[in-house]
Amino acid sequence: MENASLLTVIRQMLPGRQRIALVGAGGKTTTGYSLARELAEDGERVIFTTSTHIFYPAGREFAVGVGEPESPPVLAAVLAGEKGDTHQRRVLPVLARAAAGRKLSGFSAPEMLRVAALWPEHWLIIEADGSKGRPLKAPGDHEPAVGPLAEAVLYVAGLRGVGRHLSEESVHRPERFSQLTGLPLGGTIRPCHVAALIRHPAGGLKHVPPGAAHAVILTGTAGPEDFLMAGALARCLLVAGEDMVVLTDLVAERVAVKRVFGGNAV
């Protein structure tokens, strides 16, 4: 499945799962928007939303609806996504609550269930975690905010965090990362440490709903060294019990799949 689109991989490897939560760090928003755009361009009904905080999206490709799930601005954004703009281009509905500054606040779990009930035929792409721009993170006590409706959880991890020292600059919540992986603060982050974090019940598997699929998206596989590191991490994850690992890179502001490990695709 080398050079396949992310949507193709999701459809083939996670069939029938249209409510997808993204957690982790290192490219959740980019991955979520890229997948949602592919869905919209393919003629699917899709909504991008959040259960945490995201930056207010800019650009004519977005129809932002802020308020209660049943409020007029939210309904108008969903309708715009189905009809397109004045130039008949597909636009992406982004639904959330208002927050200070340039940010939007996420829906609570009951509100997210209302969103799903209002638009049962739509794909829901849900950003369910925050990482303060770090390539890696370990979840706090209240994180991630996945919620019970997620049918698939995609754990995103940035390869640029591997090989760096465990610190605030490389990992959101480094002390928690240290507790879950056994790596001392200041130690060098290896693929085995990231795999241990992702497969830990209090790490990458935390709050995954019963019956939901789980897969890992590794971002930033640009050069030969990145591919070697990604391959090592993917093998560690598969040995530890992960079903599918997707290696990606960013091409023309879209997430491009470089290789898929597991899921009968090795």
Is residue 203 in a domain? yes
**Confidence band, pLDDT 50/70/90 cuts, at residue 251:** confident
Does a structural domain hold residue 1? no
pLDDT digits (tens, 9 = 90+) for 47-78: 999 999 999 998 889 999 999 999 999 999 99
Helices (H) and strands (E) in the chain, counts: 7, 13
Arithmetic mean of pLDDT, 234-239: 94
Domain count within the chain: 1
**Token pair 């193709």 in the structure block, residue:** 8
In a domain, 22, yes or no: yes
How confident is the model at residue 2, as a pLDDT?
63
Residue 12 covered by a domain: yes
Domain range spanning residue 49? 6-262
Q: Which CATH number characterizes residue 61's domain?
A: 3.40.50
Q: Is residue 135 part of a domain?
A: yes
> What predicted TM-score, i.e. pTM, was given to this entire model?
0.94
pLDDT digits (tens, 9 = 90+) for 23-53: 999 999 999 999 999 999 899 999 999 999 9
DSSP state of 183: P
Pairing of the two strands 213-219 and 103-105: unpaired
Residue 86 has pLDDT above 60, yes or no: no
Burial string for 16-51 (b: 16+ CB within 10 Å, else e) reads: ebbbbbbbbbbbbbbbbbbbbbbbbeeeeebbbbbb
| pLDDT higher than threshold 90 for residue 178 | yes
